[in-house]
Each structure stands twice: as C-alpha cells, then as structure tokens.
Copies of this chain bind each other. A is one copy, B any other.
Amino acid sequence: MVQKSKITIADIATKADVSISTVSRVLNNTAPVAESTRQAVLEAMQALDYRPNIFARGLASGQSMTVGVLTQHIHSPLYGSLIRGILEEMDNSPYTPLFVDGYWQRQREERLVETLLRRRVDGLIILGGDLPLERLQEAARQVPLIVFGQNVPGLETQCLQLDDYEGAYRATEHLIALGHRRIAHVTGNLAHSDAVARRDGYLQALRDNRIEPVPELMAEGEYTEQSGLIAMEMLFGRGRTFSAVFAANDESGYGVRLALYRRGIRVPEDISLVGFDDIPSSAYTTPPLTTVRQPATEIGRAAAEAILKLIQDEPFELPQISMELIIRESTSRYLK
C-alpha cells in the first residue's frame, strides 16, 4: 500500500507548455516569471493536484525544512506548554517541528539527537534534559541550536535562561507585602544551583526590605513532600516563630502544609504559604497554593522564534523571561 502522486514538475511543465525550470521558479519564486506564464503554471498545478516531493527537494537543496525538538516527558505540564508555544510559533513558518522525548535519560537523548541529525533537521531545540555540555557544544557546531534549561559555556546567546532567583525574590516580596516579617524558608537540595538561586532570591528580598535573615528560619529539604514535612519539624523544634513559609517547590510545600495541619495551624488564616513550580494540583488543593510558574508557552515561542532566525542567519536575541507569581488563597489573608 503505497501512495504515489506520480505528478511531477515535468508533468505540469508539459501541461503548461513551459520548461521545468520555470515551474520550479513559480514554485519557489526564486526568480521573476511573466505573470501570464505564472498563471498557466499555477493552473496546471491545480488541475493535476500537484504535490512537490520533499525528498527530491531536500536532496537538491540540502534543506529539510524541519526543526528537531528534544523534550522531556512530553506529557508533563511544563513540556506540554513549551511544545505548545513552539507549535504556535512554527505554525506560521514553512518549517515543521519534529518532536522526540528524551524521558530525562541521557543515553536516550544522545540517540535521539543523532536521529534528528540523521533526519537532517535544519535546526535543533533542546528542552531540558541531561546531555553533557560537550555534546551540546558539538551539536551547535553541526546545526543551529537553541537550548532551554542549561547554560552552555560558549553558547550563552543561544541559551534561554529562567531566573529562579527572581522568582524566589518575587515570592518573598509578595509575603512581605502582605505584612509578614518572620518568613521561614524550606530550601531544596543546596547542592543544586536552582535551589541555591531560590534561596538567594529569598534572602535578598528580605534584605532589600530591611529584614535581617534569620538562619534558624531556614531548613534544607529536597523538593519532596516528605522532606518538607521534616524540615518543618526542624523549624518548629528551633523555637523561633514565623507567620509565613516560602517552600522552594510545591511538593515540599505540601509537606509544609501537612506539618501545619498536624499542629492545628491553618493556611492561610494562621500562616501564609508560598510554593514554587505551579504543579497542576496546586490549583486544586485546599486552599489553592500561591506559587511561582515558568511561563512555558512563552518560552517555547521564544525558542522557536530564535531558531528560525538562527537558521536564516538573521540576527536575533533571546528575550529575558520572568517567572510568574500566581497568587492563590494560601496567602490570601494575613491577620496577625
């Protein structure tokens, strides 16, 4: 079962009584063609239901008119939205995106990038993942490349960065604006740079508002609910009071909340709580969690826009994209 729309430019050349070059010209308007003959060609194409053969075109031109996109967990909210942004942007271009999913497995990612290169993609967008920097640098030598989620030395202008620091700063600032002054922070694993950035944003926001950070109000977690719970127990054990908590991510925020409930402390009546990441359930828990979200669709769109420019050797600039504070009821009131 094979489809073969046998019609080639030769056929339509015959029908329109011109040469194949002329047909090719109106097809790509790569050179001026007399309006009359152009019409004739167009009509012939219409009549014969002509479809260009992309293989022949690719062979002759060396371009595939595709952009490879390496994602991770395509079904997750973050990557789903990134893809959406890319789709929206590419939609108005002659390029088609080719999506592959690395599942955060380095080996798999390596293989998929190889697959994409074999498919002769004209550009490559890498979203997240675990590829070593050298691999990315190598890829950048072979094909136009845009990266999100890593900062590759030497490729700074092609890396889309998000500001964990700024997001944390805003979250903390929000709590301060509500009137809080004793704000606790459950960090992520401080061996990772994003957790450090979030902590630093928290600290700086305090200082900028003339609140002296209190070391006893910080406890290290590791982005899990369990660790959030434990961190809170540590905080309580230290005997310092606080009226708000900033958790370095939503999951650990749930642990925080659990610890509070167990002590009969209500959110937000007694304590305000802010998370980070905006995982889906955070909109539905009781109460919905105030949190910081990566504006993924926008990022996707920016990445797509950039790669298209890159491919065409046009100048481009990756926009600075800010984290977005989603205010929900977990910080709706501050009564004490």
Which of A16-24, A114-122, A232-240 sits within the interface? A114-122
A70 to chain B, nearest CB (A): 12
**From B87, B144, B285, contact of A1 by CB (8 A):** B144
Most chain B CB within a 10 A radius of its CB, from A74, A77, A79, A83: A74
Closest beta carbon of chain B to A191's beta carbon, Å = 29
Interface residue SS majority, chain A? mixed
What residues of chain B lie closer than 8 Å to A51, measured between beta carbons? Answer: 117-118
Residue A107, interface by CB 8 Å: no
25 A-B pairs in the complex with CB atoms less than 8 angstroms apart: A1-B144, A1-B313, A3-B117, A3-B120, A3-B142, A3-B143, A52-B118, A56-B59, A58-B58, A59-B59, A74-B84, A75-B79, A75-B83, A75-B84, A76-B80, A83-B101, A84-B101, A87-B100, A87-B101, A96-B100, A99-B99, A280-B280, A281-B281, A281-B284, A285-B286
Can you add 5 more A-B contacts, CB < 8 Å, to A3-B117, A96-B98, A281-B281? A4-B62, A56-B59, A58-B58, A281-B284, A284-B284
Q: Name the residue of chain B whose CB is nearest to the CB of A84.
A: B75
Q: List the B residue with the shortest CB-CB distance to A144.
A: B1
Closest chain B residue, CB of each to CB of A4: B62
Are B62 and A2 neighbours in the complex by a CB distance under 8 Å? Answer: yes
Q: Are B286 and A283 in contact (CB under 8 A)?
A: no
Interface check A64, CB cutoff 8 A: yes
Instruction: Report A1-16 CB contacts with B as 1/0, cut-off 8 Å.
Output: 1111000000000000
Is A54 engaged at the interface, CB distance under 8 Å to the other chain?
yes
CB neighbours of A2 from chain B (8 A): 62-63
Q: Which chain B residues border A62 with CB–CB below 8 Å?
A: 2, 4
Name the B residues within 8 Å of A74 (CB-CB).
74, 80, 83-84, 87
Within 8 A of B (CB), among A65-100: 74-77, 79-81, 83-84, 87, 96, 98-100
Across-interface contacts of A284 in B (CB, < 8 A): 281, 284-285
- Contacts known (A142-B3, A284-B285); A53 close to B120, Cβ less than 8 A: yes
